Chains A and B, each alone.
Chain A
Amino acid sequence: MWNRTSLECITVQTRIKEYRARFSLTQDELAKKVGVRRETIVFLEQGKYNPSLKLAHDVARTLHTTIDDLFIFDDEVQGQKSGIVLED
């Protein structure tokens, strides 16, 4: 399940929500683990915030995955094969 939002000219999708659910983490718990404010996680999940490489790495590591798996940009989306369900 992907969440998609436009950032001016780039489209960023994240799977943070999906991974969070997998580990039964609330937004607040994830924020505490990563060391950011809860609002930052909210905007990250909505794709409205473009994180630094360090934050992306910290979130990915906390959710036991990779940055590649958590974040995907629009140029990658166009190259994706069908089968992925896009959800606005």
Chain B
Amino acid sequence: MKEMKPRNFYRIIIGILMTISGIASMILTAGEAIIGMILLVAGLVFLITGIIRHRQYGDDPESDERSKKIGAYGLSYAWLTGLLFMFCLFWLDYLGILRLGTQVALAISIVVLALSARLYQIYLFRKGDVE
């Protein structure tokens, strides 16, 4: 049995409390369920994060200098990728080759930034270092 870090213990407790509060709020305020829904979703996020982190790391450190370094480099590379992507979007739109709406362009940019950051980090983690 892995020893649980206080951080994960609090995540789970807060998650349970928020989930229960959310369910109670939705039942008691039948007409206005939005607050209850927000509490429920946030509670589930806390709960799931706490459980996953505990199962994955237990009492071991979740991050160290290597993971922080790789995380930072992954974000930097993703920022550059996003810049290049938006540069391309701008010129495609300017030249009339591809015209996207604001919402679609923003949505694709968000996906490119988030996905590329994760992919760079996965690649660097497998490689071992950023050099």
Contact = CB atoms under 8 A, between A and B. Distances in A.
Q: Does chain A bind chain B?
A: yes
B65 A55 contact: yes
Interface in B15-69: 60-61, 63-67
Interface stretch (B6-14, B89-97, B123-131): B123-131
Contacts of A38: 60
B61 A7 contact: no
Interface size class of A (residues with CB under 8 A): 10 to 19
Nearest to B128: A48
Given A36-B66, A37-B66, A49 B61 contact: no
Nearest to A52: B65
Contacts of A40: 64-67
B65 A48 contact: no
Contact of B131 (A36, A50, A54, A55): A50
B62 to A, nearest CB: 8
A63 to B, nearest CB: 17
Contact of B64 (A37, A48, A50): A37
Nearest to B70: A49
Given A35-B61, A36-B61, A43 B131 contact: no
B64 A36 contact: yes
Interface size class of B (residues with CB under 8 A): 10 to 19
Interface in B112-131: 125, 127-129, 131
B131 A7 contact: yes
Contacts of A50: 129, 131
Contacts of A35: 61, 64
A10 to B, nearest CB: 9
Contacts of B127: 48
What are the 8 A-B residue pairs with the smallest beta carbon separation, nearest first? A48-B128, A36-B64, A43-B128, A40-B66, A49-B129, A49-B128, A37-B64, A8-B131
Given A32-B60, A40-B66, A49-B128, 17 more contacts: A7-B131, A35-B64, A36-B64, A36-B65, A36-B66, A37-B61, A37-B63, A37-B66, A40-B64, A40-B65, A40-B67, A46-B128, A48-B127, A48-B128, A48-B129, A50-B129, A52-B65
